Structure 1
Amino acid sequence: MPEATVHIEPDVAQWVALSLIDGVGSATLCQLLSQFGTPANVFAASRSQLRHIVSDNITAAICAGVDEATIAPTLEWLSQPGNHLITLADSIYPKALLEIANPPALLYAKGQLDCLSMPCLAVVGSRNATPQGEKNAEDFAENLSRHGLCIVSGMALGIDGAAHRGALKANAPTIAVVGTGLDIVYPAKHRDLAHRIVNRGLIISEFPLGTPSKAQNFPRRNRIISGLSIGCLVIEANLDSGSLITARQAAEQGREVFAIPGSIHSPVAKGCHQLIKQGAKLVESTEDILSEIQPILPLQPHFNTSPIGPLPERANASPEANTVLDSMGVDPIHFDVLLTATGLTVSALSTMLTLLELDGKISPLHGGKFQRLV
């Protein structure tokens, strides 16, 4: 699978530096960007301007800046093939995450970025799964992958690992969202699985390199698992399982929630039964899921193969939008080629492409390419 090019605006070092300041989490970073626009503008802001947004301690830390030694390990990691940083200014930032509360301001990613353009389904469940539970997870993930869905899970022991294995068994991409830095494989038992996921799919995290496994990281991780997905399937969960947090977040995000029932005597079935009582769809087969999500699956673009000439200027079309459309032609075109053809900045072109997609004029494709539809 070819890699899409990551476009970061502004300079990656400033994104990294701002995110590594103590106290600047995802929500704070988004507040700063909302006020000042870019990390460069944040670092250029005065103390009085910053104090309106953040505490005195964070203000002092931003004004002091971040030394090169602090960001050097991350920049070195990013220089290695297959390692990426995706920010809110990036044209490939997952649009589904923009719909959730407190979207991650940036994501560290390792593997194949094309996965992010696929329709995704979360598959989660107990770490202490039964053999039948793991088999169900693997079988469901394999079958759903063969229907074009990218399976998203948390690479934990039990159901998560089985779900990833099922997708890989179908020779399909899968996305693992983890609660550590991407220089750490957790659990260590899944080191081989992690390598297989990177080769065929993607591992992502909002946590900086070196972040160890901490209990408080996983609810934050879970909102990304559900946020990336159009639905969430729970396979075996205790009443205190973190999978129920993922399912609750999925419901709050407007995603579909599915659950596989089990024995009334099984502790790992009680969480699923509770979800079903609360309105989750009872699932016995992949068809139960596909019939529910089919109406909301992204439509395949219908490509017009006839010659396309320049669009006439319209009152509601900006000059930049017409420039982009006129530069696209008939065939799919890569972001970099379009950047050169239009003469726009990365930020301006990313904005235009998003607006044109929402207007039904273009469609994003794999590999960082776009297709004109009118």
Structure 2
Amino acid sequence: MLIVADENIPLLDAFFGDIGEIRRVSGRTMSAEDVREADVLLVRSVTRVNRTLLEGSRVRFVGTATIGTDHIDLGWLKENGIHFSAAPGCNANSVAEYVLSVLSLYAERCALGDWSRLSVGIVGVGNVGRELAEKLGRLGFSVKLCDPPRAEREPKAAGTFVDLNEALTCDVVSFHTPLTRDSAYPTYHIISERELAGLTAKQLVINAGRGEVIDGAALLKRLDQADAPLVALDVWEQEPQISPELVDRVWLATPHIGGYSLEGKVQGTEMIYRAMSRFMGLPTRKQAGQFLPEPALSKVSFTSAADEQAAIQIALRSCYDPRQDDARLRHAMRAPADERGAAFDRLRRDYPVRRECSSLKVQLKGTSKSLQDSFRAIGFKLKI
């Protein structure tokens, strides 16, 4: 059996090596010729899986090691009897931790002694938005949830959700929607000139969902106007050919790596391994945890003298500091215009190992219960 896979999916040999022959190819440039003899196709979000790619091939199973499916022609796969599986929620915690790290930087910029004074509007409350909301709620933040499809499906929870306009009044607005154009509630360019005009310099906008949710041209125009909001973008329109002008004007710019923790990546591989094994009637004996290496940093320690906010910032940024990715992306945008797309893809392909907070043991000596609860809410392992 031939398994054609995006070369950037981790642990391919560990999970699939004893099932069939693995052929690694570039996900961005994957062609019909690459997959013609394949029985199984494993991709990420950079590969369009549709009739053009698969017609005439032997592929009977497609797995994407991502939470999103807007790169997959689900209707065509179903019509042609090709089984499909995604990895919903695999990197939800990774993206939530990305947002927490951005929030810690923003609170520091605003000279807030207590970051939970910030109100946060979460637009899109699926796996990622729900994970983020739970962490923020446990940390004491005021959170407003906006998800019209869920509000419609869950009438008993009507009071749980607010409309977009109300979410946009929060100090921080974080986007975690899928990209939809033809649905009852399309998300394509839901943030454009009108919405951006209502935002102020006292607000932060974070997009770690889909780049096309925000109208990039309108955003670029707004950022050149007075009283513009701060913006942190991890996702962009027209990836990998993103706008260097927009990179230059946003406060924080990262190359679509919010979900790129090692734990999130490996969990995505495990999920499509399990789905493929079920489809083929094979036993599932492997789990992501058995392949995770020892983290480079395994323990930090705080005493009773530690300031709560400072301790949280130190621990969070020990695991992940977005400013490093920001610097790499800004440097990549200095390349000649015809090389920037490849430079963006290299940042993702060669992404350094990033571990989630659960990999770090936090030792607390004589600290307050409040600090202990905060560390638990974020997901750190505690030793008291």
Normalising TM by the smaller chain, what interval? Answer: under 0.3
TM-score by length of 1: 0.27
Bigger proportion of residues as helix: 1
